[in-house]
Amino acid sequence: MEQPTYRKPDISLRGAEHVQRYRETDGRIGYEWNGVPILLLTTTGRKTGQPRTSALIYGTDGDDYLVVASAGGADSHPAWYLNLQAEPEAGIQVKDDHIPVIAHTAGPGERDRLWRIVTGYWPNYDAYQARTSRTIPIVVLRPSGR
């Protein structure tokens, strides 16, 4: 079986620095990363109860925001995903907009359609999926009040 093509991203801005620069500039720095849009997701730490923020690639499906719990194809889920499983109410920042959201993991029927959307803007997700035996979750972030 042919392995999916992997495109090495520029990782000069990542992690806590990415979050800080995005917040300081309302996304003028950090919103676009490697040609794709980034949002900030703030979850509640499942162990600490403290806010935890991650910079994540996102796409949209109607009014919903889509993020992928890929962890680069690691065999375990990222902490932000585990936090959302424990507490699905969260917040996102898209540029200077702060939006409360409710998260759910896409189910099997929904996931197939959404996977085509997310790999359309970040093809590396196919390579990440090939690296792990877990099914990489797609998280739907629905603005609260809908």
Provide the whole-model pTM.
Answer: 0.90
Please tell me the distance from the alpha carbon of residue 96 to that of residue 63, in angstroms, as a whole number: 17
CA nearest neighbour of 110 among 143, 61, 58: 61
Domain count, the chain: 1
Instruction: Give the confidence band of 34 by pLDDT, cuts at 50, 70, 90.
Output: confident
Instruction: Please indicate, yes or no, if residue 69 is contained in any of the structural domains.
Output: yes
Quick one: which of 146, 135, 132, 123 has its CA closest to 59?
123
pLDDT (tens digit, 9 = 90+) per residue, 94-139? 999 999 999 999 998 899 999 999 999 999 999 999 999 999 999 9
Percentage of the chain with pLDDT > 70?
Answer: 89
The reply to whether 3 falls in a domain is no
The CATH number covering residue 46 comes to 2.30.110.10
Residue 88 has pLDDT above 60, yes or no: yes
Token reading at 18: 């990415």
**Residue 96 falls inside a structural domain:** yes
